[in-house]
A and B are shown apart, each in its own frame.
Chain A
Amino acid sequence: MRKITFVINGRKIETNERNTILRASLAHGIYIPHLCDHPDLTPFGGCRLCVVEIEGRGLTISCKAPVEEGLVVQTETPVINKVRRIAAELLIVNHHAECLQCVRNTECKLQDIAAYIGIEADHLQRLRQTAGDHPIDNSNPFFIRNPNKCVLCGICVRTCEEINGVRVLDFAFRGYETKISTLMNKPINESVCESCGECVVRCPTGALIIKDYQRPDRVVTTICPYCGTGCGIQLGVRGNKVVSVRGDRDNPINKGQLCVKGRFGYHFIDHPDRLTTPLIKRNGAFVKASWDKALELVATKFKEAQDRYGPEALAGLSSARITNEENYLFQKLLRCLGTNSIDHCARL
């Protein structure tokens, strides 16, 4: 790919052709406020916050403007600030801003923008319409859609179409009435939604949020326990409990994307039904036992049977869910005990 050089705020920047001005400057640490642009998605040009001035051409939205050799770009001028402020105020005015109760608090893009541009409460008050109270869609078991916090950036619409490929969501109605909606404006669980949550993780505000979300205190990168795709996941841990899963953006397979099982199917880890002690069956019922007792019993029984019927009396079924190292040890154990009767259910 060809390299392009252009100037932004007096700084020379080299970037790939076909990049946009917005993404090139963000990559070089120059912040331009923006809301509807997302690195995974095609540029949309909806929020108009990313306006910049190109010498000789005037104002333009930088998320849609491709870089060109020798362009001279300004991101901060009185005109830009004025335009930007209007754009921001229009976005914020209809937003139900109860930031402290919002799970997106401190991770909200709208807050970033308000902080950067500096919104005047007075002015906002004058603008404020009686923001309509839209019903909240609670129908999906894993996430909530709150249209009252929606800024119509369309990121969820593009995500569903470009990432997952389902097309559940779209813009509906016109003008002031515009909102994001499912087909026929039905609750999302009656749509073709696959509950992948991709739209939720990309939503810049609190309009799409995970139910019962708990913020983790650390993350651990590992692999999804479900299917053979082997997506990279990051387990969010709080204390000794897994409280969230997000896709690992550095993983070459899923590039941060996940399906419903990978993202939301982690509750088995901490489920009360988990086995926590060895069990030995006595008269048809299980009783708790120590590791010592249980393992001793197993070893004795293996030996008894093998002494009596030969080593082939023992067979083992291994698991497609344990690690390579564990599978290796499992077959090593059985073969060392003299039997090659080892299989797993993967044939099925």
Chain B
Amino acid sequence: MVGLATVLGSGAMTNTIAEITGADVIFVTGSNTTENHPIIGYRIREAVRKGAKLIVADPRVIPLAKIATLHLQFKPGTDVALFNGLVHVIIKEGLEDKDYVKKRTQGFEYLSSMVEKYTPEYVALITGVSAEDIVRAARLFAVGKSGSIIYCMGVTQHTCGTENVVALTNLSLLTGNLGIPHAGMNPLRGQNNVQGACDMGCLPNVFPGYQPVYGDRDTGTYWRRLKLEKDKSLQPAEEVDPSKLITDSIEFERPVYKGMSVSDEIRAKFSKAWKVELSDLPGRTIAEMFHHNPSRRNRVMYIVGENPVLSNPDTDHVRRCLEEMDFVVVQDIFLTETAQLADVVLPAASFAEKDGTFTNTERRVQRVRQAIKPKGESKADWEIIQELARRCGLDWHYSSPQEIWDEIRILTPHYFLGMSYERLETGGLQWPCPAVEHPGTAILHKDKFARGIGQFSTVEYRRLAADVVDKEYPFILTTGRKLYQYHTRTMTAKTDGLNRLLEEELMAINPQDAERLGLNAHDIAKITSRRGSIVSKIEITDQVLPGVVCMSFHFAETAVNVLSDPAVCNMSVVSGLKVAAVRIEKACEVQK
């Protein structure tokens, strides 16, 4: 979630889930919350019952749209135009939080002149939302005392995902909603420990706690402050106690360093702690691991608990890449589509069979506890990784996850130092928690941002950002998720009841389009994109606009990612999973 990090820091929620119920206005976009994050969906519904205004900006009539004060059903891929339109109206009508803008932000003039042309009429033309609704939404959001923006993959999974988030952040900053209760920018992370995987440095360019490995990209103010501090006092690195430099929040920016860089020091710190000389060569991102040019790819691959064959865009390509690699080892609890392509498969224990911690989307670290013995000969992932490390010549001797956690705390003091297992025992703690007496941080950016100042960024709507619709491929296909299934179904398919509730893929298509194409309720449609084609049963529903069709990516039989656009967002490397141009035909008629 580079988008949010670019402007504010990490891609986690700035506020807590519990605060949602107290919001004045809730703006939900790109998140089918009641199906994908149901408990957060309960909170939104509760807020609405208590009188909160709900604005849903989504191309589909998701369940929340039915209880919304206002539903902005925009054309997929036009998010930036819509958000800029809202900003336009707010500025035009003088509804921005003037005090906040003056005290806490910069770049307002640039923003105002950039959004000048995004009049409601112009935006209506692009997005298909009426000018009146755009004005109404802008007023609703700006007038509320606290406005919470909730978004998910629908916003980030675009070739322009980063821009979408930047445009949304403008909206939040402009209305003074960052750093106050019941408000903020709240990205909902899909899988249970995505936040943890990022926090722990499972990204090429950062160590745990977003400490830069190289290039000093994505570095934080913290690191700059550390550097400045040192320049001033000309002290060696060891003598600066990192936890002393922390106030109550951590934000990031992208300073440009010259000469001796912070990452050199960070690398030195980790090299010392891990007793290895660490590399400063940039690593590959997932998109680069599956690069279209075989000579650019890695030769061996170690995959833990992921099923990229189904979850990545352009499934056939990923499959081919894995087949072409010299050696692939997959560690998982089931023989997934990806594991089937491996040379070696290592059986892992499930979450119920091990100890450790997970970090949720609101930055809360919580304890995972072992309930039963691992199945068969399977082992906890940490044990497998450790045994492999030893065979690779590393001298590791962890006896428990707690021991690993304590090492993390020491190497990432600004985030986790205060979080002992003991303190995590009940309810967990939200990072940053830099000291044992620190209560954890519920709301980020409370008193100030990184530079003391929140930066407005200007992003223009780019028509080419999405896979373009033309005569040959006249439909926009978007992807979504369903309540009863999860991700690539590795886990949910194993519960019969969940299968009964949602047995197969149904592509949602508008009644007008279905009629024009001669499709009836039980027909099977063939869906073709510029990359491939698949077939699927259909569901005729006005939940989608004419010209738009929607599928999930839960089912291997209709791997919708065969179709989707692998063009990557050039800033965050999130593939444009959400939008593809397709052609629809009747594949066969089914009598019922």
Contacts and interface: CB of A to CB of B under 8 A. Distances in A.
Interface in A231-267: 231-232, 235, 237, 240-242, 250-254, 257-262, 264-267
A163 B202 CA distance: 36
A197 to B, nearest CB: 11
A285 B335 CA distance: 13
B113 interface: no
Contacts of B389: 329, 333, 336
Contacts of B373: 240
Contacts of A333: 385, 388-389, 392, 394
Contacts of A250: 426-427
Contacts of B329: 298, 301
Contacts of B500: 141
A230 B192 contact: yes
A191 interface: no
B306 A317 contact: yes
Given A229-B17, A230-B192, A254 B39 contact: yes
B304 A220 contact: no
Interface stretch (B244-252, B355-363, B581-589): B355-363
B202 A343 contact: yes
Contacts of A220: 352, 369-371
Interface string B444-479: 000000000000000000000000000000000000
A131 B499 CA distance: 36
A228 B202 contact: no
Contact of B304 (A240, A260, A277, A330): A330
A281 to B, nearest CB: 5
A324 B360 contact: no
A274 B382 contact: no
A274 B38 contact: no
A316 interface: yes
A341 B38 contact: no
A317 B289 contact: yes
Contacts of B530: none
A6 to B, nearest CB: 29
B38 A326 contact: no
B368 A330 contact: no
A277 B194 CA distance: 27
Nearest to B275: A336
A319 B352 CA distance: 16
A74 interface: no
Contact of B197 (A294, A306, A308, A319): A319
A327 B196 contact: yes
A312 B370 CA distance: 36
Contacts of B501: 141, 189, 195, 260
Contact of A329 (B196, B307, B382, B428): B382
Interface in B242-301: 270, 274, 276, 278-279, 281-286, 288-289, 298-301
A97 B497 CA distance: 29
Contact of A265 (B190, B194, B335, B498): B498
Interface string A306-319: 10110111111111
A322 B305 CA distance: 7
Interface in B19-37: 34, 36-37
B347 A276 contact: yes
Nearest to B381: A326
A301 B357 contact: no
A198 B421 CA distance: 31
Interface string B496-521: 11101100000000000000000000
A18 interface: no
A302 interface: yes
Interface in B355-410: 355-362, 364-373, 375-382, 384-389, 391-392, 394, 398, 401, 404-405, 407-408
Given A344-B202, A344-B286, A324 B279 contact: no
A213 interface: no
Interface size on B, as a range, is 35 or more
A313 B279 CA distance: 13
A196 interface: yes
Interface in B543-585: 572-575, 577
A328 B329 CA distance: 19
Contacts of B285: 343, 347
Contacts of B214: 340
Nearest to B366: A223
Contact of A228 (B48, B288, B304, B360): B360
A297 B300 CA distance: 12
Given A222-B352, A223-B368, A228-B194, A266 B495 contact: yes
Contacts of A267: 494-496
B274 A336 contact: yes
Nearest to A276: B376
A313 to B, nearest CB: 4
A336 B276 contact: yes
B351 A222 contact: yes
A261 B36 CA distance: 10
A286 B345 contact: yes
B484 interface: yes
B112 to A, nearest CB: 33
Given A271-B494, A274-B347, A323 B193 contact: yes
B193 A273 contact: no
A195 B585 CA distance: 35
Interface string A265-283: 1111111011111111100
Contacts of B203: 342-344
B289 A343 contact: yes
Contacts of B130: none
A325 B391 CA distance: 20
B205 A340 contact: yes
B495 A268 contact: yes
Nearest to A289: B344
A344 B306 contact: yes
Contacts of A271: 334, 494
Among B334, B389, B490, B575: residue with most chain A CB under 10 A: B389
Given A141-B496, A291-B377, 20 more contacts: A165-B49, A222-B352, A222-B369, A228-B191, A228-B193, A229-B37, A268-B493, A295-B388, A299-B388, A301-B343, A312-B284, A317-B303, A320-B192, A324-B196, A325-B404, A326-B304, A329-B404, A333-B394, A344-B198, A346-B197
11 contacts: A163-B42, A165-B41, A225-B352, A230-B192, A250-B427, A268-B333, A273-B494, A275-B339, A320-B190, A326-B304, A340-B205
The 3 closest A-B pairs by CB, nearest first: A276-B376, A230-B360, A319-B305
